[in-house]
A = this chain, B = another copy of it.
Amino acid sequence: MSEASTATGSAATGSAVTLSRAAILAVGSELLMPSRIDTNSLFITEQLNRLGIEVVYKTIVGDDRDELAQALVLARTRTDLVVCSGGLGPTDDDVTREVVAALLGRPLREDPALTVHLLERFAARKLPYAMPETNRRQAMVPDGADVIANPFGSAPGLWIPDGSRVVLLLPGPPRELKPMLTALLDSHLRGRSPGHAVVRRVLRIVGRIESQVDEVLHPLYEVWARQTPPVAATILATLGQIELHVSTRAGSAAEAERVLDEAVDQAVAVLGDDVFSIDGRTLEAVVGAALAERGLTIALAESCTGGLVTSRITDVAGSSRYLQQAVVVYANAAKTALLGVGEELLTRHGAVSEPVASAMAHGMRERAGADIGVGITGIAGPGGGSEEKPVGTVVVAVAVRGGAGRVQRYRFFGERERVKFQASQAALDMVRRTVWEIPVPPRSG
């Protein structure tokens, strides 16, 4: 971004420092509120661990010069690498840049290239006023620091050599921080890392509960713990799915990857089709890929999920190729008018029933001319429950062109949004299992 400061930085970072112990400092008063949590540190930890750099501790401080300075003083005595996130914005309470520069004894100078960049960014937004003067703070660079370009925001990162240590400043917004840290791995970090790689994989599982996954994997845990290098495993239950995290530390990333390939194969052999992803993909991405590679289209009729399943499907790039159409209908009259659900079916079985879900799925599929139809009906709460059909009762049906389809009743617990999410997860999973049964056509040519 700034040629002058990059040149200074390259010289400063050329020394053969090895960084093996890191501290993460998250800066921002909002992160000390009872409703906020620092999640950047998870991404930072994962990336540093991959290079064999251990995260020794994490601290969260407010926008407070004194507290930040004290935290930095301790971090410099305990670690080689201090990664600070946040507090680089344009306002008065963004203090990270100034506190760090003062503590390291590095005067701040305005970088003209950065100022130009800031003015250009601001002009591109075509706002009806000039850039506030305070925004220029984001062009201030401590002596000897490398400027790290921020493609998605105005606050540049700063890599500040500090004797045998490094202090790295990154902006707080995750979408700015993540690509910047990713770029730094190759440009600044890999060459200074200890050379032992910790590698992790995440398997995502639906259709089982945590303790059951734990039980069936127990024999594998024992094998993994005794082998060289050992594989560590952790199970994490999140809403509507279970995650199995496996990790190992080896002499090289390639060796670690090979060890984990084998562990993942072993886990999948035990868990079967309940594993929907071994590469971090979401359920909607897996469903989208399954539809796309078979050239199938889908249409959805949602009641209690209120458009959430369709919205998740359309979170995936290219989903317009397979998403034909969707409707959100609550009222029985609309189910009849838009989907052709028979009135006597609604009267006899009630809107939340297997026959109605199936009729919604078939009606939607036929009217949209799609290959797959989905019907979802249920009671998201908090009102509308009965003894026979309590809040959280959801029925999902999947219809297939020329096939039998599926229908399944579920009972979910929790508040409205949690019921909606679990129902969307169940619907996507039923589509996945249905589509996975259909052979992938051979590619022509």
Contact = CB atoms under 8 A, between A and B. Distances in A.
B57 A34 contact: no
B134 A414 contact: no
A59 B57 contact: yes
Interface string A71-101: 1001001100000000001110100000000
Nearest to A48: B34
B317 A306 contact: no
Contact of A57 (B61, B215, B330): B61
Nearest to A50: B34
Contact of A317 (B42, B67, B200, B416): B416
B35 A90 contact: no
A311 B306 contact: yes
Contacts of A37: 37, 39, 42
A315 interface: yes
Interface string A22-33: 000000011011
A49 B63 CA distance: 17
Contact of A58 (B42, B60, B64, B211): B60
A323 B310 contact: no
A127 interface: yes
Contacts of A78: 67, 70
A377 B127 CA distance: 23
Contacts of A64: 56
Nearest to A56: B67
Interface string A134-174: 11000000000000000010000000000000000000010
A85 to B, nearest CB: 14
Interface string A397-434: 00000000000000001111110100000000000000
A90 B211 contact: yes
Majority SS of interface residues in chain A? mixed
B306 A328 contact: no
Nearest to A234: B29
Given A60-B58, A311-B306, A91 B214 contact: yes
A418 B132 contact: no
A307 B319 contact: no
A413 B418 CA distance: 29
Contacts of A57: 32, 59-62, 67, 71
A275 interface: no
Contact of A32 (B58, B309, B418): B58
A21 B26 CA distance: 19
A305 interface: yes
Interface in A289-346: 300, 302, 305-311, 313-315, 317-320, 323-331, 334, 338
Contacts of A32: 45, 55-58
Contacts of A93: 234
A349 to B, nearest CB: 19
Contact of A319 (B39, B127, B306, B314): B306
A195 interface: no
Nearest to A68: B57
Contacts of A324: 331, 334
A206 interface: no
Nearest to A49: B34
Contacts of A413: 152
B59 A46 contact: no
A43 interface: yes
Nearest to A235: B91
Given A42-B34, A414-B152, A308 B306 contact: no
Interface of A: 29-30, 32-37, 39, 42-43, 45-46, 49, 55-64, 67, 70-71, 74, 77-78, 89-91, 93, 125, 127, 129, 132, 134-135, 152, 173, 175, 200, 202, 209-212, 214-215, 234-237, 243, 245, 300, 302, 305-311, 313-315, 317-320, 323-331, 334, 338, 380-383, 413-418, 420
Given A37-B37, A74-B74, 16 more contacts: A29-B234, A30-B236, A30-B245, A35-B245, A56-B61, A56-B67, A63-B234, A90-B210, A91-B214, A132-B211, A152-B413, A311-B311, A325-B327, A325-B329, A325-B334, A326-B328
